[in-house]
Amino acid sequence: MQARHPLKQMAAGDTDLGTARPRPLLLPRELSDAELALFRSAGRTREVAPGATIFRRGELGRSMFVIETGQVRLELGDGLPDKLIGPREFFGELALFIGNHARVANAEAATDIIMHVIESASFEELLNREPALLAQFMRRSFAYLVASEQQLIAGLKRRNEDLMVTLDSLRQTQTQLNTAERLIQTDELTGLANRRGLYAYLNQLEQRMAPDMQLGLLLIDLDRFKQINDKFGHLTGDLALRAVGREVEGAATGNDLPCRLGGDEFALLVQVRDRNELESRALQIVTGVRSLRFAEPNERLRASVSVGAILCERSQLWPQWYSEADSALYDIKGQGGDGFHLL
């Protein structure tokens, strides 16, 4: 059985090439030791007081930022919860990748901050000095940015879906029928697949599976959901469920299925290469929900989730997969939640 830890753990068998030394799992915006040391050497150190603005949405960016100590709040707008990012994490990197990039969020110091400012010229110098390390950093950063953009596009698509369905229904009956079938398989609150959508996905699983990939199941439960409803009200409870749904969806790729099973229970069926990749998906969801910050009057709301994860035995069926993942979920719940357990 896998060693259990509610926060972050060393992945078994996850080693750097050419060594036997395990490397830790990294959050999407977290720098490795080598990357952090490199940016420290090239960056201009800056101290920022709580509440100070680092940049505003729409400004043309020319620098990337690496947090040494403290936390920065990213205000995304458009009804999305704010995000907190902390030590060893970076932001604003698109300004260096493509130049004069318009900022897509407001960045404000949530606490006293010490950070390193990486200018364009310094970044170019690092590319010449450490091309392999910078290429690794840029690949990981682009993968995260693409996933974030896909999540935003999906949210905008859901927002306009009703209008598009109405317009299309005036053009052709077949489109209306297809839309009705899709809505039957969609959870109304979150826009994720519901149980009908899950069963439809399972019926086509063999055709959907990519070669040399394994099927993994993550069961996700919003911790203390009844207390959230009792303290903040059911409308805020719905807001929390939608926010968790976005984090689950953000951890999915093209062939995966994020869904809401009902109540405060979500599931994510994923195609992964190994246990380490499955752990990374679980960690992304846990830390993503933990970093959510809600606007007034719900600013005191703190959400967390528990995740049970398994690699699915292809000779078994959904009931067996669900039972095993639920056992892992029950285990992390017993430890207080806000973490994951991989059987």
Pairing label, strands 305-311, 292-293: unpaired
Strand partners, 45: 116
Predicted pLDDT at 13 = 39
Rounded to 5 degrees, what angle do the CA atoms 143, 39, 11 make? 50
Domain 10-144 fold? Jelly Rolls (2.60.120)
Question: pLDDT tens per residue, the chain (343 residues)?
Answer: 444 434 333 333 344 444 445 555 677 789 999 999 999 999 999 999 999 999 999 898 889 999 999 999 999 887 778 999 999 999 988 888 877 778 889 999 999 999 999 998 999 899 888 998 988 888 888 877 777 666 666 655 665 665 566 566 556 555 555 565 666 888 989 999 999 999 999 998 888 888 889 999 999 999 999 999 999 999 999 999 999 999 999 999 888 999 999 999 999 999 999 999 999 999 999 999 999 999 999 999 999 999 999 999 988 999 999 999 999 999 999 999 999 999 8
Q: Alpha-carbon distance 5 to 335, whole Å?
A: 9
In which element (H, E) is residue 151 found? helix 131-171
Other residues' Cβ atoms within 10 Å of the Cβ of residue 204:
9
Q: Alpha-carbon distance 110 to 51, whole Å?
A: 6
Domain with CATH 2.60.120.10 in the chain: 10-144
Q: What are phi and psi of 311, to 5 degrees?
A: -90, 125
CB of 37 within 8 A of CB of 116? no
What's this model's pTM, rounded to 2 decimal places?
0.58
The token pair at 87 is: 């030590």
Domain with CATH 3.30.70.270 in the chain: 193-342
The token pair at 279 is: 């752990």
Rounded to 5 degrees, what angle do the CA atoms 232, 234, 235 make? 90
State yes or no: cis peptide before 297, omega within 30 of 0.
yes
pLDDT tens digits along 63-90: 999 999 999 999 988 777 899 999 999 9
- Looking at residue 336, the DSSP 8-state letter turns out to be T
Helix (H, G, I), strand (E, B) or coil at 276: helix
CB of 215 within 8 A of CB of 311? yes
CATH architecture of 193-342: 2-Layer Sandwich (3.30)
**DSSP code per residue over 33-96:** HHHHHHHHHHSEEEEE-TT-EEE-TTPEE-EEEEEEES-EEEE--TTPPEEEE-TTBEE-THHH
- Looking at residue 72, the DSSP 8-state letter turns out to be E
- Looking at residue 193, the DSSP 8-state letter turns out to be B
Q: Alpha-carbon distance 307 to 291, whole Å?
A: 16
Tell me which residue of 252, 247, 253 sits closest to 305, measured CA to CA. 247
CB of 242 within 8 A of CB of 301? no
Give me the amino acid identity at 239: L
Predicted pLDDT at 177 = 53
- Looking at residue 100, the DSSP 8-state letter turns out to be S
Buried b (16+ CB within 10 A) or exposed e, 154-169: bbeeeeeeeeebeeee
Predicted pLDDT at 319 = 94
